[in-house]
A and B are shown apart, each in its own frame.
Chain A
Amino acid sequence: MKSFLIKVFLFSAVFITVVIIISTWITYRLSNNSYYRLDKSVKRIFLGHSHAEAAYSDTIIRNSRNFGQSGESYFYTYQKLQKLLSANPGIQQVFIEFTNNNLDGEMDQWTIESSYLKFHLKKYGHLIIPREKIFLFKKNPVAYMEAVPVNLKFFIDYFRTGADFYYTYADWGSFRASKESKIDSLRSVWSSRKTDYAGASKQLKPSAVHLQTRYNLVFLDSIINYCKNRSVKIVLIRAPQHPEYAGNINDSLFHTVRTKLYPTVPFLDFANFPLTEDCFLDFQHVNQKGSNSLSVILDSLLTQQYPLSF
């Protein structure tokens, strides 16, 4: 028995060492900023979840790149942002989607719930500092442990296959707008959900904001501070919402939070941007037509209000 246990222990120790070596090698190789370098013309970046992903067309808005991605909480946006800015000193302006559902408790799940954690850690695991890794591990140890090999294999495959452009391979987010409009078919579904939102809103008071999301806004603070420390202009932005969007029932709370927590951060609010029905994919996302309309206006607005230096 003794011999068996010693051999099992030694084999496990060698295995753990091998994994650490592989992990270190991947982190080392990916620490090279050349992987993250963008075209020098990119001076503005858009970040956030699906609202940002669908709304801001980087083919229309000059000198911009949209890194919005569905299901992304501020925790992962923060990881992404740090690398983008450190590898691309030419980026002058960061636009972060800040909208009603960023206050929801659900956003915390977008950080730690198994499927979200595994999806994001696969791509950003090597960028996360130990203190934040411990945070994730404490919140969901099983998913975290399962995500580690997925992250390693993902990048071993990247190096092995000599895959294409890093951002395409790792899918750090991009402008994606649907051509569809599902407003009519969704109208009946959302009208029933509106009742739930109304019920929930009774309990939603400004002081209860941290009961809704416990750490999503903490990482928005980190994002803002990081940009400020690097002297990068940061702007909060809210994408258009359909007039019947039930998720904005917490709107007064939203404005209270914004003015109290981020009084010095500029806010571009397009929630009530005038768009026709066929400009929406659903009640909370614009489609390609809506995005085109918005992006044309936004491009001209940015040129006037936030000029770039070349």
Chain B
Amino acid sequence: MLFNSLDYFLFLPLVFILYWFITYKKLAVQNGMLLVMSYVFYGWWDWRFLFLLLFSTLLDYFSGIKIHESENPVRRKFWLVLSIGINLGFLGFFKYYNFFAAEFGALLQQLGFNVNEFTFKIIQIILPVGISFYTFHGLSYIIDIYKKRIPAVYNFVEYALFVSYFPLLVAGPIERATHLLPQLQVPRKFNYHQAVTGLRQILWGLFKKVVIADSCAYYANMIFNNSGDYNGSTLFLGALFFTFQIYGDFSGYSDIALGTSKLFGIELLRNFAFPYFSRDIAEFWRRWHISLSTWFRDYLYIPLGGSKGGKWMKVRNTFAIFLVSGFWHGANWTFIVWGFLNALYFIPLLLSNKNRDHINIVAAGKLLPSVSDVGKIAITFFLTVLAWIFFRSADLTQAWDILTTIFSSSLLQPLQVFPKEPLLLIVFFMLIEWLGREHQFALETFGLKWNRWLRLAFYMVLTVMVFMYSGKEETFIYFQF
């Protein structure tokens, strides 16, 4: 079920009514209902993959208890390795089998081995929606128990709900057991302010997705799918459209997820913090897909030694985290190069100890940034746009062709496509984002000091715009990851 579908707009009020009016008296019943509805939400897409979700949940549930109850290091490690191995095995099979089969076959062929079509058969596999997300939920839970940061959960419904809670099930944010589970274990009380903020966040998320991302998607797809027909300036415009498409799409999804969860009195981890106003790449990565970045930091970067070792160790670990992050997005060299490029951007800051120069919010308390900040934001944004070209391209050849065309004299040629409407929408969108950058999301407090009717009119305009631009029901980019 898509957040921007009609189905969801019938589903959400139904769950809200069941949650606050029918099952509210008993926590176990309320959680059980949420779990059932989360499975309905997931099964709406393809019910067969519910079994995979259930299996993964059962595996981590029992492994967690076994690890928790055992003091024997060998047994503890056995259950940890078993759980991680099976989880990553599923992820690897569904997401990466064909990639490795094709690449390994090609490598063997280059080395002179006789590889026929049956040696590494390419098979048609449907990638279960959200497998990367719920696998990471389970992994963090198991690793945290192994590291004795948290105890195992004995209530199966609570654990299963932690893994499959519908707002975050298919595209995150990637939650931590330490953050979400305690909220599921205590009764929730309806909070008017929280619910209203949630609705506002849903509205802003829908605006980002339906109005901004889907409008940009049309032109980004048109330009990238026919990249050979366009000059450098138009290709750069296409990359710009994709830059706003992916931000609107993914951060919009996260806003709808967080807003939805607020309606149930449950706070989820923040996933985006106005990344396109970052002054360097390190800041960008503290603000983009925060739940994944921090996951990799805690479960990969730090276990590898983090920044504690020498320069070589820092560089190695940074490359590791960015390459794995790229590969997490999909089985394609374009994602790996995207990760590699971001590592290249990041390492100079790390080696010169400037990676934490910009911890605070840009131009906090001011209306406009300084000239120096504008320059830094522009450079960071430009580097990000270049990296997104790899992310969006079908293969490395296309990405390279686009980049060489952009960095040629044709960059100075007139635009072959100049759609005014999406460009105006982007300006409006970024203006609101700028004005709201000191808050959790742009609309959190935006307009709250206005006259009540003016504020309502503003929300109504946004709502009508979402309605007018809807109907296409485009899927979310991050569903494929």
Contacts and interface: CB of A to CB of B under 8 A. Distances in A.
Contacts of A146: 6, 470-471, 473
A18 B457 CA distance: 11
Given A145-B6, A146-B473, A156 B464 contact: no
A14 interface: yes
B460 interface: yes
B464 A18 contact: yes
Interface in A131-173: 142, 145-150, 152-153, 156
B382 interface: no
B166 to A, nearest CB: 20
A8 B470 contact: no
Interface in B172-214: 190, 192, 195-196, 199
B7 to A, nearest CB: 7
Contacts of A1: 20, 190, 192
Contact of B468 (A7, A147, A156): A156
Interface string A1-29: 10110011001001100110010000000
Main secondary structure of the interface of B (DSSP, over half): helix
A152 B223 CA distance: 27
B92 to A, nearest CB: 35
A118 B459 contact: no
Contacts of A153: 468-469, 471
Contacts of B464: 15, 18-19, 22
B407 interface: no
Interface string B435-469: 00000000000000000000010011001100111
Given A4-B192, A4-B196, A147 B471 contact: yes
A14 B456 CA distance: 10
Contact of B199 (A8, A14, A22, A145): A8
Contacts, number: 47
A18 B460 contact: yes
Interface string A153-195: 1001000000000000000000000000000000000000000
Contacts of B192: 1, 3-4
Contacts of B467: 15, 19, 149
Main secondary structure of the interface of A (DSSP, over half): helix
A4 B6 contact: no
B459 A149 contact: no
A114 to B, nearest CB: 10
A15 B457 CA distance: 10
For the side of the interface on B, what is the size category?
A: 20 to 34
A55 B61 CA distance: 66
Given A4-B192, A18-B464, A11 B459 contact: yes
A145 B4 CA distance: 13
A152 B469 CA distance: 10
A145 B473 CA distance: 12
A8 B467 CA distance: 16
Contacts of A147: 471
Contacts of B473: 146
Contact of A15 (B196, B463, B470): B463
Contacts of A14: 456, 460
Nearest to A151: B471
B20 A149 contact: no
A142 B6 contact: yes
Interface string B1-41: 00000110000000000001000000000000000000000
Contacts of A145: 6
A152 B468 contact: yes
Contacts of B196: 4, 7
B470 A149 contact: yes
B7 A142 contact: yes
Contacts of B471: 118, 146-150, 153
Contacts of B460: 11, 14-15, 18
Nearest to A157: B421
Nearest to B7: A142
A1 B188 CA distance: 13
A11 B456 contact: yes
B163 to A, nearest CB: 29
A117 B6 CA distance: 16
Nearest to B210: A149
Nearest to B471: A150
Nearest to A18: B464
A203 B7 CA distance: 38
Contacts of A7: 196
A149 B466 CA distance: 9
A194 B460 CA distance: 56
Contacts of A3: 192
A2 B454 CA distance: 24
Contacts of B456: 11, 14
Interface string A103-141: 000000000000000100000000000000000000000
A15 B468 CA distance: 12
Contacts of B468: 149, 152-153, 156
Nearest to B199: A8
A288 B229 CA distance: 27
A156 B468 CA distance: 9
Contacts of B199: 8
A15 B463 CA distance: 8
A197 to B, nearest CB: 28
A119 to B, nearest CB: 11
A146 B473 CA distance: 8
Contacts of B195: 4
A186 B6 CA distance: 40
Nearest to B420: A161
B9 to A, nearest CB: 9
Contacts of B470: 146, 149
Contacts of A11: 456, 459-460, 463
Contacts of A152: 468
Nearest to B459: A11
Interface string B133-168: 000000000000000000000000000000000000
Nearest to A150: B471
B461 to A, nearest CB: 9
Closest 8 CB pairs of A and B: A150-B471, A153-B468, A146-B471, A149-B471, A149-B467, A1-B190, A149-B470, A149-B468
23 contacts: A1-B190, A1-B192, A4-B190, A4-B196, A7-B196, A8-B199, A11-B460, A14-B460, A15-B463, A18-B460, A18-B464, A19-B464, A19-B467, A22-B464, A142-B7, A145-B6, A146-B471, A146-B473, A147-B471, A149-B467, A149-B471, A150-B471, A153-B469
Given A11-B456, A14-B460, 14 more contacts: A1-B20, A4-B192, A4-B195, A18-B464, A19-B467, A145-B6, A146-B470, A146-B471, A146-B473, A147-B471, A149-B468, A150-B471, A150-B472, A153-B468
